[in-house]
Amino acid sequence: MSANPRFQTVDPATGLPGKTYDGHSRDDALSILGRTHDAFGSWRRTAFAERARLMRRAAVVLRARKDLYAALMTAEMGKTLTDGRAEIEKCAGGCDFYAGHAEAFLAPEPAAIEGAKAYATFNPLGVVLAVMPWNFPFWQVFRFAAPALMAGNGAVLKHASNVPGCALAIEDVFREAGFPEDIFRTLLIPSDDVQTLIEDDRVAAVTLTGSVEAGRKVAAVAGGALKKVVLELGGADAYLVLDDADIALAAKVCATARMVNAGQSCIAGKRFVVIESIAPAFERALVREMSAFQPGDPRDAATRFGPLVSIAARDDIHAQVEASLAAGARLLLGGERPDKPGAWYPATVLTDVATGQPAHDEEVFGPVAAIIRAKDETDAIRIANASPFGLGSGVITSDLARGERIAAEDLDAGMAFVNANVRSDARLPFGGVKHSGHGRECSRHGLLEFVNVKTVWVEGG
């Protein structure tokens, strides 16, 4: 018999321990997986109208408990209450979107073939295992779960170990909405047990959002088991600030992009590639905008910027900043570790960032903006693409046609925004290329990731 783990939460704002949760043993997890697999047998034949009714009910439950769930995120991973409420509303909107569109997205597609009736159907695969991160503890789950369930799949969730309360709350949302009891289940298990689940025949596919290292491990196991996998991994999003950019707008967009979720986002802007003729003006403007983000109590509605997820994560970020400075970067703002309890770190701006520095070569998962100078547009595109990552990207310019051309044709990324910060939206595909992963979430493309696209041919039809 495998032992039951325990999961201790920690308040990032204070560093003090919070609630402790009893986890599932490996045997417990496999038993739950079996029940989800059994529930899938009936759920896959449930009419779209009924699936949609329940998904809309999930949206109602989310909105009714918005304050409760926002407070839970604040306690477990430090998100501000304001951002937490917005995240819950986004989850509810995603539920409504798939409730309203899944049936049309999955309608059979006919093919014109003489002498035959031929079409493609989109059938559910089975139970999808999701391995999810802490930084958007509700939205990351719902953007997989809403389409997966609407497609007729079952789902089991292995969430990050520091947000067990959020993980269990999500299970409660679906149960309270009236979904079959076992069609969505949370497994409170350590990462070491994930391989056992992936290799189990009752898991049909895997989706993971997390680090490149975690993605490699999960992909290797899933590949060995010949199972479909969707990976949304890290990012070092580059924003091109072109020589015709409105400097004030550019600084506002870039600061907003960098400080999403206290900088703890795969799609946060991290590298700001600026044409050298406007670099000094942009640096001054970005420092002004970043200075407006002052760390504060995440439970205060006026706070825009709370603590990081943990003291260890904060210290890792500080080490990256110090190593970048030692290698030639120049500090314009922040960069000092506060002498107080909790996972606090200031908004930080580095310039003269170049190859060989962590701020250039690595993903810095916190509130650190890296400014890189480029000679011209061609050089800026080269710098942006010279990264192992390819998740999001941005272009800031007064010439919209120029920006759209670069965004659409030149940037090696899964998403490219002009004069705006990258964000996820249920209506548009979300995902990356290169080390940022493969596959897509959101939109019809996300819905089709976990279905069997089956050809049906009826001779003489």
* Closest to 282 in 3D by CA, of 255, 257, 305: 255
d(CA 104, CA 51): 13
Spatial separation of the C-alpha atoms in residues 145 and 94, rounded to whole Å = 10
Q: Catalytic: which of 95, 166, 254, 266?
A: 266
Give catalytic status of residue 362 as yes or no: no
CA 372 vs CA 64, 109, 303, 330, 356: distances in Å? 45, 48, 29, 11, 13
Choice among 87, 232, 289, 377 that is catalytic: 232
Exposure of 460 by Cβ count < 10 A (0-12 exposed, 13-18 middle, 19+ buried)?
exposed
What Rg, from alpha-carbon coordinates, does the chain have? 23
Cβ contacts of 427 within 8 Å, gap of 6 or more = 97, 442, 443
Annotated active-site residue 442? The verdict is no
Q: Which of 74, 80, 10, 14 is nearest to 262 (CA)?
A: 80
How many whole angstroms from its chain centre is CA 27? 29
Q: For residue 290, what are the contacts with CB-CB under 8 A and spacing of at least 6?
A: 255, 258, 259, 333, 334, 347, 348, 349, 367, 369
- Tokens coding 331: 């500090």
Secondary structure of residue 389 in the 3-state scheme: strand
Nearest to 308 by CA among 262, 255, 363: 262
Residues marked as catalytic: 232, 266
